[in-house]
Structure 1
Amino acid sequence: MSYKDKTYIIFDGDKDKWAYARMKGWKALEHIDFNFEDAHSEYTLTSNANNEYYIKGKLKKRFANACQVVVLIGESTKNLYKYVRWEIEVAQDLGLPIIAVNLDGSKLQNNKTCPPIIRDTYTVHIPFKMKIIKYALDNFPKEFKGKKSNSSNGGRIYPESVYQSLGLN
């Protein structure tokens, strides 16, 4: 299952850290069936974390073992270029499957918040709900790798039947 592989999570560290913390919280609770191997647990940042080249070097090392990427998309994610856009570019260059998680609850590609770099690429768009995130981690990487051309075909969404099967209406 893909959630056992390293997952690199991209997010607005100022405004959307709560969502990343919630995902880590879900993982920590034994009675909840949610797990992912967090690539951020490797190569911790030190006091040099104010140096862009230092930070990007550490982040690239984290990408080395990642098998998929989750982008937590909040209000301002699309406007963040220094790190967020750079991280997405690295993920695309590495050919990693990208799961776009809409913090506003949208099941579709939301052009008001979605970073332009992943609009209309083969990226799955889902709401910030534990069950659908788990489903995407379990299924999308394999689907992505099975595609012949991952840069075309536009955004991917799951049909309503998937949400119903997960108890998400």
Structure 2
Amino acid sequence: MSYHNKVYVSMDADNDLMYYRLMQAWKQNDNIGFNFFDAHDINNIYDKSEESIKAGLQERFRHSKAFVLLVGEHTKYLFKYVRWEIEQAIKRELPCIVVNINGKRSCDMNLCPALMRDHLAIHISFNARILQYALENWPESASRYLNNGEIGPFYYDDNVYKKLGL
């Protein structure tokens, strides 16, 4: 039986891995109300050929219920894996959460990969509370928007951030 409860996180691993590691640290910290089931825990990819890497990533996608894209300075230039991961998330109709590590609370047209700018996704700032809120609430909203044929970037208004103490 396959469980689809994981969160697939995509990022510029050369420049933004520390933000992914911080998400893992939030999960481990009992004083921060953040939790996610990381799809990267599913398998270790030892063979570094592109074919093997993508096969391993496909396995992670098969167990994922949401897609998180960490957007940094160079993310939009990454085509080999990040663009491929975005394409996989779209093809699988996974709820997409775009996290701006620069703190922007809406779609950053200068940094967000073009494919994700025009796709149904919630764009948020990098913070444990708003990311947890999005993981808990966006999938249902995304499903509703998808069923209504709505696309494009969405964002939470300031009231949501205020409610979360941000």
What TM-score does the superposition give when structure 1 sets the normalisation length?
0.92
What is the CA deviation profile of residues 25-74 of structure 1, one whole-angstrom value per residue up to 9, with x for unaligned ones? 0001122211000000002111x12x100000000000001000100000
Structure 1 residues not aligned, in runs of 5+:
none
DSSP 3-state at the match of 2:70: strand
Q: Please tell me whether the aligned partners of residues 74 and 102 of structure 1 are also in contact (alpha carbons under 8 angstroms).
A: yes
| CA–CA distance in structure 2, aligned partners of residues 147 and 99 of structure 1 | 14
Unaligned runs of 5+ in 2: none
Task: Say whether the 8 Å CA contact 2:120–2:146 is kept in structure 1.
Answer: no
Counterpart of 1:24 in structure 2 is 24
- RMSD of equivalent CA atoms: 1.4
- Describe how 1:55-74 pairs up with structure 2 within 5 A: 55-74=53-72
1:153 deviation in Å?
3.5
Length-normalised TM-score, structure 2 = 0.94
Question: Of residues 100, 110, 121 in structure 2, which corresponds to 1:102?
Answer: 100
Question: Sequence identity of aligned pairs in percent?
Answer: 40
Aligned-partner Cα distance in 2 for 1:153–1:144: 9
**C-alpha contact (below 8 Å) 2:72/2:111 kept by paired residues:** yes
Q: Which amino acid aligns with 1:52?
A: E
Whichever residue aligns with residue 6 of structure 2, its letter is K
Runs of 4+ in 1 over 2 A off after TM superposition: 147-153
Residues matched between the structures, number? 163
Distance 1:99 1:150, change over 3 A: farther
CA 1:137/1:122 → structure 2, altered by over 3 Å: closer, same or farther? same
Residue type at the aligned position of 1:124: I
Shift of 1:10: 0.2
Q: 1:151 to 1:21 in 2, by over 3 A?
A: farther
Give the Å deviation of 1:134.
0.5
From 74, 78, 81, the counterpart of 2:79:
81
Find the aligned partners of 2:149 and 2:77 in 1 and give their Cα distance. Answer: 22
* Paired residue type of 1:147: Y
The whole-number CA distance in structure 2 between the counterparts of 1:153 and 1:69 is 16
Question: How far apart, CA to CA, are the structure 2 residues paired with 1:89 and 1:151?
Answer: 18
Query: Is the contact made by 1:78 and 1:115 (CA closer than 8 Å) also made in structure 2?
Result: yes
140, 143, 157: which one aligns with 1:142: 140
Query: Among 109, 112, 133, which residue is 1:111 paired with?
Result: 109
